[in-house]
Structure 1
């Protein structure tokens, strides 16, 4: 037990490197705060484009969503950060990570919003038209609020996955939490920083994960009661 504590819960080592971990945590939170709203807005735009499009444009949107969802975010980051400079476009590490996260999650959020919009009965659209509302105004004021209420659980679940995915920043040497923990491990010759990073991730994400699970269970119960 003493050997375990010395290797994985070494308090002197932790006290030496905790500022590095806090710096990494700050960057992880910043990546999430920037990437998440952009991904949601991008996905919502794709879903609305699908709703207003004709048959061909809808097929194009479906193909795009499937393509983005099947493309690993890690591969996207490699292509953006290491390949674009050959075409004359060089992005910084932070921008490249945000771009990879947003592009990848546009597909996921787009499919979630599309499914939500498709679940609204046609009668709602007809009622809005009968009231004289323009199609776009009806979408914003009537259809979209109902759709969002139906997909809150999957939206929250995918948001949680996006926060976890910020760890890909370590690939381009961006000092997010995991990267900072690895640097700290090299400085202390001890895995305690990695243990601390894991604990920080758990403390940060578990309450949100628990909330998401409760919403998903309520959604399942609600569907079964209908």
Structure 2
């Protein structure tokens, strides 16, 4: 029991870093995705092409490769980032690209009559988006957004390749030291707890947004 408590305490320290990266990613990736989606839907063709290229690059290459580029590759250009900053930048841009396409699909799924109704009420573009289109689009995109949010919990384990002491690396260190499967079992439970919290949170949001059905 003492060993289990010791292992759990050590893994919780790595769990804090995992949670920090998770929160930073969502905090910046979601607003980035919304503005990029609006740019693709309503912006000029040149902007749509640039944002399309951004999405193509970050959705079409492995997240692990992107981590290597921002942490190791940028040093070629004289840019040196801390592991956490490199990981944060990578995850924000990567998940921003995925969320962008999700939100773009959600916005385009809204019936054109909604825009006409807003125009009849003398609403400008931003009022239309903020009060009518985006609230309905959010309801549409919640399920795929939930899936990406769950995947993000697990993808944070990739930062071990740039030396960050997150949850999985902490478990590996204890396993190497003690040759015991206990740290992996505890890590699995912690991952399940985090994903369960994410699922329950987004289900709560779905119930709150149900009045748009």
TM value normalised by structure 2: 0.88
Instruction: Give the distance between the partners of 1:32 and 1:111, measured in 2 at CA.
Output: 20
Deviation at 1:153, TM superposition (A): 0.8
Residue range with higher mean Cα deviation, 72-81 or 124-133 = 124-133
Residue number in structure 1 paired with 2:119: 129
Q: Give the Cα–Cα distance (whole angstroms) in 2 for the partners of residues 126 and 191 of structure 1.
A: 61
Separation of aligned partners in 2, 1:163 and 1:178: 11
Kindly provide the CA deviation profile for residues 68-93 of structure 1, in whole angstroms up to 9, marking residues without a partner as x: 21121111000000111121111111
User: Is 1:97–1:168's contact at 8 Å kept on the other side of the alignment?
Assistant: no
Q: Unaligned 5+ residue runs, structure 1?
A: 1-10, 217-222
Q: Structure 1 residues 117, 32: closer, same or farther in 2, change over 3 A?
A: same
Listed as ranges, the matches of 1:191-206 within 5 Å are 191-206=181-196
Report if aligned partners of 1:39, 1:102 keep a CA contact under 8 Å in 2.
Answer: yes
**1:166 partnered with 2:156:** yes
Correspondence 1:42 to 2:32: yes
1:180 is displaced (CA, Å) by 0.7
> Which of 71, 76, 80 lines up with 2:66 in the alignment?
76
Query: Of the candidates 28, 37, 48, which is equivalent to residue 18 of structure 2?
Result: 28
2:97 maps to: 107
Structure with higher Rg: it is: 1
- Measured against aligned partners, the alpha-carbon deviations of 1:182-212 in whole angstroms (never above 9, x if no partner) come to 1112222322211211122123214544787
In structure 2, C-alpha distance between the alignment counterparts of 1:107 and 1:149, rounded to whole Å: 19
CA contact (8 A) 1:117 1:143 kept: yes
How far apart are 1:12 and its partner, in Å?
Answer: 5.0
Q: How far has the Cα of 1:19 moved from its partner? A: 2.1
Partner Cα distance (2:22, 2:199) in 1 = 15
Provide Cα deviations, 1:73-122, integer angstroms capped at 9, x if missing partner. 11100000011112111111111111111111111100000001101111
Task: Name the structure 1 match of 2:56.
Answer: 66
Counterpart secondary structure, 1:151: helix
List alignment gaps of at least 5 residues for structure 2.
Answer: 207-212
Checking the alignment, whether the CA contact within 8 Å between 2:149 and 2:198 is kept in structure 1 is no
Distance in structure 2 (CA, Å) of the matches to 1:103 and 1:25: 22
